């Protein structure tokens, strides 16, 4: 039995009807979204807050609900969806199980782009300057990596390129923060390297939404050609898919989704690695079907991680990347271990 057959067999064994999987994960996201609204630093009467907000009365519960908890839960959902989705997309595009925006350096270049725009006052120039800074940063890494991996680079090359990009972008981020005029900037490197959803406002939601939605659309539309690509580029071409356009679509979609996400929450690692891996067996290893479910799974993981940082008795609250790395890094290690065993 070849490896592909074995994979197919395990895939089939765990496969869940696609419709039920999507609705199940959707329900999980909704439940965690509500939990995220309900959990915070203080018990707040959500019904009262909701009612007051509808009546336009800005009482304390209404303020907490509308200005703090709703943006936080919305951003958790949006950013988690973006990271899960792009993880699945990059793994499909690069045909590499370890591709993930954080590991291969897309998130850190996005953070660099956002840092330069934000701390040097460029975000005031026009409305979408901040997310676009992130997108440009993400685009640089995505194009670089694709140039490398498109020539059939192995897992090792990809990861090492990620190490190089991550340390370079990290160093330039530190440099930019050191040169920034505000004395607080230097200490905020933690935020950009580890990410957080604390104290965001609805403004951040509106800021990221347009570019992010375009990115999602580009990636979600590439499901069928991505499935065909598993049969090899030639076969995909013979089936009538434009492989060049597919690549462009995924690269642009990834840069738009990750870039705008990182611009408002900092880089949060491992979501795009863990989620697609857990869900892949459930969709019979089909990369096209993995996209939407990974997005939903990413949103669920992000919301759960963000609830946990508020429940844990650590103040000021932990950065989200701390939680996702505690889950994700051992996961990465076990993946590398398994890949090594297979070689």
Partner 1 sequence: MQLLPAIGVIVVALSAAGLAPAAESVSKPHRIVSMNLCTDELVLRLADRRNISSVTWQARDRDNSNVADLARDVPINHGVAEEILPLNPDLVLAGIYTARAPVALLKRAGMRVVDTDVPRSFEDVRQQYREIAALLDEKERGEQIIAEMDSNLARLERDRPPVAPTAIVFHGDHYTYGRGSMIDVVMTRAGLENVAVRLGIGEFGQVPLEIMAMNPVDVLIIGSHRDGPALATELLRHPVLSRLSDHTRVVVIPNRLWNCGGPALVEAVERLMRVAKEVRGKVPNE
Instruction: Give the residue with the Cβ less far from partner 1, 119 or 216.
Output: 119
Counting contacts by CB under 8 A, is residue 40 touching partner 1? yes
Any contact of residue 185 with partner 1 (CB under 8 A)? yes
Residue 67 binds to partner 1 (criterion: CB under 8 A)? yes
Q: How far is the CB of 307 from partner 1 (least distance, A)?
A: 14
Residue whose tokens read 């953070």 = 111
Residue 179 to residue 176: CA distance in whole angstroms: 5
User: Could you identify the residue written with the tokens 């975000």?
Assistant: 123
Q: Label residue 10 left, alpha or beta by phi (over 0 means left) and psi (-120 to 50 means alpha).
A: alpha
Is 336 a binding residue for partner 1 by CB under 8 A? The answer is: no
275: tokens are 């989620």
Using alpha carbons only, how large is the chain's radius of gyration in Å? 20
Q: How far is the CB of 64 from partner 1 (least distance, A)?
A: 5
Q: Shortest distance, CB of residue 203 to partner 1, whole angstroms?
A: 7
* Contact track, partner 1, 76-115, x by CB under 8 A: ----------------------------------------
Site residues for partner 1, window 199-218 (CB under 8 A)? 199, 201-203
CB 131 within 8 A of CB 206: no
Round to whole Å and give the CA distance between 226 and 318.
37
Pure H helices in 150-201: 155-179, 189-194
Q: Least distance to partner 1 from the beta carbon of 315, Å?
A: 7
Q: CB 41 → partner 1: shortest distance, Å?
A: 4
In three-state secondary structure terms, 127 is: coil
Within positions 236 to 295, which residues make up the interface with partner 1, using CB under 8 A? none
DSSP 3-state of 273: helix
Residue 91 tokens read as 């793994």
Among 33, 81, 119, 146, binds partner 1 (CB under 8 A): 119
The correct pick among 18, 120, 168, 331 for binding partner 1 (CB under 8 A) is 120
Q: Does 23 bind partner 1 (CB under 8 A)?
A: no
Q: How far is the CB of 313 from partner 1 (least distance, A)?
A: 14
33 binds partner 1 per the rule CB under 8 A:
no
Q: Does 128 bind partner 1 (CB under 8 A)?
A: no
The CA–CA distances, whole Å, from 150 to 28, 131, 137, 251 equal 36, 27, 20, 12
Greatest Cα-to-Cα distance within the chain, rounded to the nearest angstrom = 67
Nearer to partner 1, 34 or 203 (CB): 203
Whether the link from the prior residue into 244 is cis, omega within 30° of 0, is no
Q: Which residues bind partner 1 (CB under 8 A)?
A: 40-42, 44, 58, 60-61, 63-64, 67-69, 118-121, 123, 180-185, 187-188, 191, 198-199, 201-203, 315-317
């Amino acid at each position: 039995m070849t490896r592909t057959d074995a994979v197919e067999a395990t895939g089939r064994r765990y496969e869940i009807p696609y419709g039920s999987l999507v609705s199940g994960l959707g329900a999980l996201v909704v439940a965690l979204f509500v939990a995220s609204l309900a959990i915070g630093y203080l018990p707040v009467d959500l019904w009262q807050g909701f009612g007051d907000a509808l009546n336009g009365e800005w009482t304390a519960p209404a303020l907490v609900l509308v200005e703090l908890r709703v943006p936080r839960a919305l951003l958790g959902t949006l950013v988690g969806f973006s990271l899960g989705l792009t993880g699945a997309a990059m793994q499909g595009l690069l045909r590499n199980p370890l591709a993930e925006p954080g590991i291969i350096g897309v998130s850190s270049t996005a953070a660099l782009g956002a840092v330069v725009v934000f701390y040097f006052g460029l975000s005031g120039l026009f409305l979408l300057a901040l997310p676009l800074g992130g997108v440009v940063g993400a685009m640089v890494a995505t194009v670089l990596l694709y140039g490398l991996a498109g020539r059939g680079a192995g897992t090792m090359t990809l990861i090492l390129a990620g190490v190089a990009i991550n340390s370079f972008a990290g160093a330039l981020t530190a440099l930019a923060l050191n040169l920034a005029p505000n004395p607080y900037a230097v200490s905020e490197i933690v935020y950009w390297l580890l990410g957080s959803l604390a104290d965001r406002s609805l403004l951040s939601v509106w800021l990221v939404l347009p570019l992010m939605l375009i990115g999602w659309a580009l990636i979600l539309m590439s499901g069928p050609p991505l499935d065909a690509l598993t049969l090899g580029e030639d076969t995909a071409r013979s089936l009538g898919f434009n492989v060049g356009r597919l690549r462009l679509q995924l690269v642009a979609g990834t840069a738009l989704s990750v870039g705008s996400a990182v611009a408002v929450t900092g880089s949060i690692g491992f979501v795009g690695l863990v989620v697609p891996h857990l869900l892949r067996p459930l969709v019979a290893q089909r990369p096209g079907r993995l996209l939407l479910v990974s997005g939903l799974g990413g949103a669920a993981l992000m919301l759960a991680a963000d609830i946990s940082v508020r429940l844990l008795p650590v103040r000021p609250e932990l950065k989200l990347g701390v939680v996702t790395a505690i889950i994700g890094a051992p996961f990465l290690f076990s993946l590398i271990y398994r890949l090594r065993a297979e070689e």
